Amino acid sequence: MALGCVAVRGNAANTGSYGPIVAKETLYRIALKHRQQGVTVSQVMTSIFEANPDAFANGDINRLKIGEILKIPDLEGNSGSNRIQADQVAPVQIGTPEAKVPELQAEGGKQAPPVQAPADPDLVTAAPLAAAIGLPDTAQDTEMEVGPTVAEQKIAQGALPEPKPAKRKRREKSSDPVFRYSYDIAFIDDDNVRLAQEDADIRSDRSISATVKARGGSSLDKFSILDYGASATYNKLDTFDTLDNYEVEANVRYRFALTSSFTSPIYSLGARIGGREFDTEMRDASFVALSANLSKWITNTINMTTGVGLNAQESKSEVFDTSEARIFINLDTNFSKNDLVYTTLTYITGDTVSSATPSLGIINVAEAIEADDAFGGIEANQFAYRLKADTVVLTLGYNRIFTPDLSFDVSARFVESEAQDDGDITYERTIFRASLLGRF
C-alpha cells in the first residue's frame, strides 16, 4: 500500500475493473471508491483481495503489485465475501487500514518517510537554569520513530515501529527486540538563561546541543508494546561556559490500545531515570520522571496527545533539589506526508530555580538560597534560589521531513512563571530551537 491520494483510472464504477495500479495507491483507498451502501470497507477489501490473488505479492494483502488491473466484484446483496467474515479477517490481515497508509506503498514503490510527530513533552522549566534549554521539545522527543500513524497505530498490529527505508533489505518479522539509533543536533537561543526577573539580572545565551539515542522494544501481545532506550546529551553554551553540561538517561515505556480501530486511543506509561553533570558542581544532579499519556487521532491529519507527569531531582546543592507536576495537551497537524505543525500547552506547578541578585521579597519566599559560583558567587552578589511557582509553557513548532532518515525541526517555547507565595515575582523566557534529526 502507499501514501497519497489515488487518481481514478479505468472503470470507476462499483463493479468491473480498476487499474493499472501505480506506486502510490492503496487497497484501502480503492475499496473506499467502490464501497456500496450497507457494505463495510473491510468487506470490499477482502472481496477484491480474494478476486485478485495474483495481484498481491506472496499472497500478502498489504503488497499490491504495480501495473495490475483489479477485478472489482459485484457486492450488491452481499454476493461478495460475507460481511461478518470479512470484518473479522480483514483487520487481522491488514491491521488498521489507515495505519498502513503512511508505511507501505504498492510493491516496487519507495518507502514513505516517517512523520516527526510529538510524543512525550519534556518542558522542564524548573530544571536548573541551562539544563532546561538542552531538553528536547515535543517534536524532538520522537527518536526519529515512524509517526503516530505507524508508531502508535502499529500497536494494533503487534509490531515494533521500526523505520524501514527502501534502500534497506526487508527484514523478516521477529519477536526479538530491534534497536534503532538516532541523533539530534540543535541550535538553541535562550533570552533568559538565568530565569531572572529584573532586567539587570537577565542574561541571554546561545548553545549547541548534541544527543545520541538508542531504543529497542518488543510486542507483548496484539495490542501492546514495551520499548526501552538510553540517550546521552552534551550542551555547550556560547557565553556562560560554566553551565556546559552533559546528561545520560535510561527510559522505559509501555504502550497499549484496547481495539485496533484507527481512532482508538493509544495509552502509554513511561519512566525515565538519569543524571546531569555541570562544570559547576553544585548543579550536578540525578533525576527521575514518570508520565501517563493518551494519544488519539481526531481526523486523519490531526492527532491529539494529552497527559500528566511527575519530575524530581536530587542535587549536590539543596537549592537544586526540585520536584514538579505537570499536565499538557498537544495537537499535531499533518499538512502533507512531509510537513507537520505542532502546538503544546503545558501547565507546571512545583519548584523553580532562578539565579540573580535576590530582593527582600525573594529572600522571604525562597525555600533555599545559595551563592551561585557559575555567575560570580558571593563576590558578585549572585545567588541561586528555589521557590514554588506556577508555570505556563506554550510551544509552537514545525517539522519538515527530507528523507526517511533525516528531518528538520524548528520550535519556539514561551514560558511564564509566577511565584505561588508572591504574585509580584514573575519570570518570562523565550527559547528558540532548530534541530537536525537523523537515524543511523
The domains found in the chain, sorted by start residue, are 16-100 (no CATH), 129-439 (2.40.160.40)
pLDDT 10s per residue in the chain (440 long)?
A: 333 333 334 443 455 788 888 877 788 888 888 877 667 777 888 888 888 888 888 777 878 888 888 988 876 544 444 444 444 444 444 443 434 333 333 433 333 333 333 333 443 333 333 333 333 334 333 332 323 333 333 333 333 333 333 334 444 444 455 688 999 999 999 999 999 998 989 999 999 999 999 999 888 887 889 999 999 999 999 999 999 999 999 999 999 988 877 778 999 999 999 999 998 889 999 999 999 999 998 988 899 999 999 999 999 899 999 999 999 999 999 988 889 999 999 999 999 999 998 888 888 999 999 999 888 888 888 999 999 999 999 999 999 999 888 999 999 999 999 999 998 999 999 999 999 999 88
CA–CA separation, 15 and 421 (whole Å):
72
CA–CA separation, 188 and 238 (whole Å):
10
What is residue 405's predicted lDDT score, i.e. its pLDDT?
Answer: 87
CA–CA separation, 430 and 414 (whole Å):
5
Q: Which residues of 159-191 are buried (b: 16+ CB within 10 A; e: fewer)?
A: bbbbbbeeeeeeeeeeeeeeebebbbebebbbe
What is residue 15's predicted lDDT score, i.e. its pLDDT?
Answer: 59
**Omega into 358 within 30° of 0, i.e. cis?**
no
Is 19 within 8 Å of 70 (Cβ atoms)?
yes
CA distances from 300 to 90, 95, 297, 337 (A): 20, 16, 7, 12
What is residue 113's predicted lDDT score, i.e. its pLDDT?
Answer: 34
Number of neighbouring beta carbons within 10 Å of residue 93: 14
What is residue 37's predicted lDDT score, i.e. its pLDDT?
Answer: 67
What is residue 423's predicted lDDT score, i.e. its pLDDT?
Answer: 87
What is residue 328's predicted lDDT score, i.e. its pLDDT?
Answer: 96
What is residue 177's predicted lDDT score, i.e. its pLDDT?
Answer: 56
Cell of 340: 507537520
